[in-house]
Amino acid sequence: MTGWNASDIPDQSGRTAVVTGANSGIGYVTARELARRGARVVLACRSVERGTRALEELRSDVPSAVAEFRRLDLGDLSSVREFAASYDRDGHGEGLDLLINNAGVMALPYRQTADGFETQFGVNHLGHFALTGLLLPRLLRTPGARIVTVSSAVHVLANIDMGDLNSARSYRRWIAYARSKSANLLFVHELARRLAARGSGIVAAAAHPGYAETNLQAAAPKMEGRKIVERVMRLGNRVVAQPAATGALPTLYAATARGVRPDSFTGPRVLGWQGAPGKSWRARWTLNDTASERLWSASVGLTGVEYGALRR
């Protein structure tokens, strides 16, 4: 893995990738680099305006790109269902090679999704849980398929609370973010276990970007109209964070490099913060079979997405 970078991405011709949150930051770079190596990419974004603009930018960055925008709001299960149904209706050949569960929100003030879930848990975990389950039949039909879910080193701040998944009893924004990112890792753990039990060759893996300059850090202050904090966040990013292009490398590695193991967690090598991709440290609780099974069952109950092919 030494010094692995975007030029090491193997040829992706003939492969199709769905990237959530592809209009910005890590998601945009991931889609762009996959397209540069020949993949057909689907930019799955919640805003028509931002998604369309990203598609134009991608086509200008990579004139040979085969890319399209499709609307997906992970904070609304009806939108997730519509995305999967329209994707099926429009054909798109038989398979799906790469699903990149990248979209995310961080440390927002308390809000609920359209379905009444706390937003960070709802978008970061439940939305992706539902999307993956609905696209799974296609992934299962595709030899060499991979599912990469983007978590964060910040997951170490908090394990999920099975008694209060939606932070109904108490809400602390950073703890809720950390819990949603622990949920991402527990999801990957359980998904990998269930795929292995079925004898599937799909690789379900996790990645994180360290600290990368994107819109993530300024989103909450922007939402709250705290302009000075927003400016400070953006300035701090410029000084301390690595570029989004470097932050996307762990995702691109997990999605395309040879020998990536199921349930692995790839992040930047330098203190988990910056640099080329390497094996990342993860909290023990994200490898707990009982917890991952319980979260899986709760997520099936909350989303109504059954994962029939992987039922125990």
Q: Identify which of residues 16 and 24 has a Cβ nearer to ligand NAP in the complex.
A: 24
Are 115 and 122 contacting, i.e. CB atoms less than 8 angstroms apart? yes
Q: Identify which of residues 165 and 218 has a Cβ nearer to ligand NAP in the complex.
A: 218
Is there binding between residue 268 and ligand NAP (CB under 6 A)?
Answer: no
Question: Which residue from 16, 21, 100, 194 is in contact with ligand NAP, where contact means CB under 6 A?
Answer: 21
How near is the Cβ of 212 to ligand NAP at its closest, in Å?
4
| 105 Cβ contact partners less than 8 Å away, ≥ 6 residues apart | 119, 120, 123, 124, 216, 219
Is there binding between residue 132 and ligand NAP (CB under 6 A)?
Answer: no
> Would residue 177 show up in a list of annotated catalytic residues for this protein?
yes
Q: Identify which of residues 50 and 294 has a Cβ nearer to ligand NAP in the complex.
A: 50
Q: Identify which of residues 20 and 256 has a Cβ nearer to ligand NAP in the complex.
A: 20
| 128 Cβ contact partners less than 8 Å away, ≥ 6 residues apart | 20, 74, 101, 103, 149, 184, 187
CA atoms within 13 A on the CB side of 271: 5
Other CB atoms within 10 Å distance of the CB of residue 238: 9
The C-alpha angle with vertex 22 and arms to 20 and 23, in degrees rounded to 5, equals 135
Q: How many residues bind ligand NAP (CB under 6 A)?
A: 32
Q: Identify which of residues 219 and 255 has a Cβ nearer to ligand NAP in the complex.
A: 219
- Which tokens hold the place of 199? 């004898």
Per-residue x/- track, 110-129, ligand NAP (CB under 6 A) = -------------x------
Question: Which residue from 58, 72, 254, 291 is in contact with ligand NAP, where contact means CB under 6 A?
Answer: 72
Is there binding between residue 81 and ligand NAP (CB under 6 A)?
Answer: no
Is there binding between residue 136 and ligand NAP (CB under 6 A)?
Answer: no
- Which tokens hold the place of 288? 């707990």
- Which tokens hold the place of 207? 């990645």
Question: Which residue from 142, 159, 182, 214 is in contact with ligand NAP, where contact means CB under 6 A?
Answer: 214
In whole angstroms, how far apart are CA 211 and each of 33, 80, 155, 214, 274? 19, 28, 13, 9, 7
Tokens 């394990």 correspond to 159
Question: Which residue from 219, 233, 252, 302 is in contact with ligand NAP, where contact means CB under 6 A?
Answer: 219
Binding segment toward ligand NAP, per CB under 6 A, in 61-69, 97-105, 132-140, 285-293? 97-105
| H-helix segments, the chain | 25-36, 48-61, 77-89, 119-120, 128-140, 173-198, 216-223, 227-240, 244-247, 249-256, 289-303
Is there binding between residue 5 and ligand NAP (CB under 6 A)?
Answer: no
Is there binding between residue 250 and ligand NAP (CB under 6 A)?
Answer: no
How many angstroms separate the CA atoms of 179 and 173, rounded? Answer: 10
Is there binding between residue 192 and ligand NAP (CB under 6 A)?
Answer: no
> Of these residues, 87, 177, 253, 307, which one is catalytic?
177
- What residues numbered 29-68 form the site for ligand NAP, per CB under 6 A? 45-47, 50
As annotated, the active-site residues are: 177
| List of residues contacting ligand NAP (CB under 6 A) | 20-21, 23-27, 45-47, 50, 72-75, 102-106, 123, 150, 152, 208-209, 211-212, 214-216, 219, 247
